[in-house]
Structure 1
């Protein structure tokens, strides 16, 4: 039996189609960024989707992507992308498909894979010069399985596996620096709340060849504990407070694409998220708040 709901959706632009009818959380910052990215990439794509939140976009036998889609285990999406890209190159070389039928190979992964178990496969793909675009939607935890902490979780945040009075004791890994150290063609940070910056970077990435990697901070209402309608504002605060620097790496150089003129205090960002509520009530944790602020200040002191 044909699902007419999905048949109708195929005729809609991707801004209406992507995520429609799927069990995604309201206010998902990752989906907000993906909407914008997909509008630029278009349907001549093949998405290699590592297990995670965005896997829920697919309802068998349908996916919201008008191009192609492949599901892989969490740590092996870059390896899957390698196989697809190699197959496309062979088909092109042997003239089994014309150039206009080529597809952009895209990895779609959460921070659980990107910051952790998928690092090895990603590094190998960069070393081989794989011509692909890697998109990490970073909601700073294993969002699909209950928001356990990941290597992308910020210091002090409460998660389902770091519930103590001080929250997560570790520090967020610098994935941008880790990827840039491998010298790919391009690395950039983006956020859906800054659509012009995001669009410029995705358009630049489409014009390049080789490994191109995008990290999208993805405010998560369920994991970060805030009202879904505040998702965009929290994204803007991440930039205005300097918590999420918008930057890019190319040809051995890192440049910042948006520098806050007057940074807001970091607590303006923290206090609107339930995962940091323990830093303010019942007693303000002045020491931890000062430490978090100082780390942000130290970062920007080296930039400006």
Structure 2
């Protein structure tokens, strides 16, 4: 509805459904997970969105959710959430809103913010014991600006800034970094395992304090696969053991889904264009073996 239509008819502006009419990529694993999460967190929320792919959900003057939505710069979403929480607490203390009108600050970021630019502000918010839910959709690169490598990019993946042999670094362990702060809750998840994701959202909502949902977000454009294969790739991330599904609370880490028989890592890699150089024109057996060993070593301490 245009501004002229609003003025002429007196009707309120309609809100767009989540993702409807917005330029999101087909097959986006982050959007798949966010749909599922929002169904559970509901509209008594203030989403504090750091600049990134999900910024495209909102096209002014529409908002993507029936609840509230606030933009921040990439580095400061947790600080924005602190401001929201403080403002709500002031309104509650003055009786300006009733307790049933209180809302939950929800930080929404990509991995560029969560693993890198915003990590300092996040650490400070956890140290303050901020009561907030932090959702990271991890597509393993700066997806909104052409998929440059980030601190979440896996070893060997080609990106816009690691074009020859792939990224030479190692994916940062954000789960452990958060857990070291001893927050209320930390969990990894993926939209292609909806029952596991839903349970973790419900656990997070039952707690108070800093809570993280770290969600792997298969990205067709950045990873180089057909959108129709998103679910297959998401499930392979779990079945190969590359993306362990686990949670932390009360000082204990528990794996919520342990593959009974892990699939070879290369079954996951060869479906993605970002790893194509490991297979053609010459198969790089040494690199593939090294990547398999990383995963095997992790699970050798779990099995």
1:269 aligned onto 2:268: yes
Name the counterpart of 1:214: 213
Give the whole-Å Cα distance in 2 for the aligned partners of 1:145 and 1:285.
Answer: 29
Give the whole-Å Cα distance in 1 for the aligned partners of 2:157 and 2:169.
Answer: 9
CA RMSD in angstroms comes to 1.3
**Shift of residue 221 of structure 1?**
0.2
Give the whole-Å Cα distance in 1 for the aligned partners of 2:89 and 2:287.
Answer: 52
- Unaligned regions of 5+ residues in structure 2, if any? 7-11
Aligned partner of residue 25 in structure 1, secondary structure: coil
Give the whole-Å Cα distance in 2 for the aligned partners of 1:68 and 1:194.
Answer: 27
**Shift of residue 100 of structure 1?**
1.2
Name the counterpart of 1:204: 203
- Unaligned regions of 5+ residues in structure 1, if any? 11-16
Name the counterpart of 1:121: 121
TM-score by length of 2: 0.96
Name the counterpart of 1:14: none
Give the whole-Å Cα distance in 2 for the aligned partners of 1:170 and 1:9.
Answer: 42
Name the counterpart of 1:139: 139
Superposed counterparts of 1:40-79, under 5 Å: 40-79=40-79
**Shift of residue 97 of structure 1?**
0.2
Name the counterpart of 1:155: 155
**Shift of residue 291 of structure 1?**
0.3
**Shift of residue 122 of structure 1?**
0.3
1:256 aligned onto 2:255: yes
Aligned partner of residue 187 in structure 1, secondary structure: strand
Change (3 A) 1:258 1:105: same
Runs of 4+ in 1 over 4 A off after TM superposition: 6-10
Give the whole-Å Cα distance in 2 for the aligned partners of 1:145 and 1:187.
Answer: 28
Give the whole-Å Cα distance in 2 for the aligned partners of 1:8 and 1:46.
Answer: 18
Name the counterpart of 1:284: 283
TM-score by length of 1: 0.95
Name the counterpart of 1:80: 80
Change (3 A) 1:9 1:58: closer
Name the counterpart of 2:231: 232
Aligned partner of residue 301 in structure 2, secondary structure: helix
